[in-house]
Amino acid sequence: MLATNESRLVEILLQCQPGQPRTRGTWEVDHQGTPFILPSIGGITLNLQVGDPAFGWEGDHIEPGVSCTADTHKPYEHPNVTVQMLSCVGNTATIVSGEAKGETGVVLGHHGGSEHIIVDFPREVKEKMAYGDTIMVKSRGQGLKLSDFPQISLFNLDPSLLAKMKITVADDGVLEVPVTTLVPAYCMGSGIGSAHVAKGDYDIVTSDPEAVREFGIDRIRFGDFVALLDQDNRYGRAYRKGAVTIGVVVHSDCREAGHGPGVTTIMTCATAGIRPVIDSKANIADLLGIGTRL
């Protein structure tokens, strides 16, 4: 077990509700110049869940599970910003009103732009939900630290999920973290330059078919842990040679230029303190026994 400051983390209840699906109300255009009208961000998405492929759907920026917001009218203001910044991957979410009252789900991550948090619930639970239902997230994780690895920064990560990630310490003192995919820095797009990573995500660009095939990006699943190489996320999203960032895939592939599967950051190091190790089951679904498992 990795030593952490878990006992000193603050637990706060956050309130949100399912956010209505959003469209721009007109044609959108893909990176080949082709217009399209398809499902996109938001909503209670019935047939997608953590562990499903992030590619191949007739949609754009699809958020699996239930997209949640505290205030759809003020997505960039309180209380929605607070829900974004304090909810962590792996947090428990409980429905406290409506027909699905008492059912629980797991926070998958944040999606910037839409300013949603994404919560995975089983389909039978989603079938009973309504857009006015109240969901309470048990927030715990921001401020989490690895006591013996001060050079590694953690964000957006519930300590109970950290304990299940099968991270080991190699003989040379480097943390070996299981991931499904290694993503080179030049494949990172929308979201680079953000001031911090405590909310939102950034995208793996998929407009180049050769890079997608070479790095197996098209095999990514919702909930995959992926390694973003030469990416330093300590104080925003930036290129730094030798840095490694670990994130969780939170939305589907995209058709627009500069976009692709979205990643919420959970771990970053500006030096070679993290060594990603390929494991096809490095996915929240497989670790927590939820969703679609290999």
183, two tokens: 């993503």
Q: Give tens-digit pLDDT for 248-281.
A: 999 999 999 999 999 999 999 999 999 999 999 9
Contact 36, 111 (CB under 8 A): no
Range of the domain at 79: 10-139
Q: How far, in whole angstroms, is CA 18 from its chain's centroid? A: 17
Stretch 220-237: mean pLDDT:
98
Tens digits of residue pLDDT in 118-175: 999 999 999 999 999 999 999 999 999 999 999 999 999 999 999 999 999 999 999 9
In a domain, 174, yes or no: yes
DSSP letters spanning 167-206 = -EE-TTSPEEEEESEEE-GGGB-TTTT-S-SSS--EEB--
Q: Is residue 144 part of a domain?
A: no
Q: What is the number of structural domains in the chain?
A: 2
At 188-215, the pLDDT tens digits run: 999 999 999 999 999 999 999 999 999 9
**Do both 167 and 261 map to the same domain?**
yes
- How many CB atoms sit inside 10 A of residue 152's CB? 21
CATH of the domain at 179: 2.102.30.10
Average pLDDT score, the chain: 97
CATH number at 82 reads 2.40.10.170
Tokens of 6: 């878990």
- Residue 208's identity, in one-letter code, is D
- Check whether residue 56 and residue 114 sit in a common domain: yes
Do 156 and 284 belong together in one domain? yes
46 and 17 share a domain?
Answer: yes
Q: What percent of the chain has pLDDT over 90?
A: 98
Whether residues 130 and 163 share a domain: the answer is no
Q: In this structure, what DSSP letter does residue 164 have?
A: T
Q: Are residues 94 and 191 in the same domain?
A: no
Answer yes or no: do 282 and 156 share one domain: yes
* pLDDT at res. 232: 98
Same-domain check for residues 133 and 165: no
**Can you tell me whether residue 24 is helix, strand or coil?**
coil
End of a domain among 91, 111, 139? 139
Judge whether 273 lies within some domain: yes
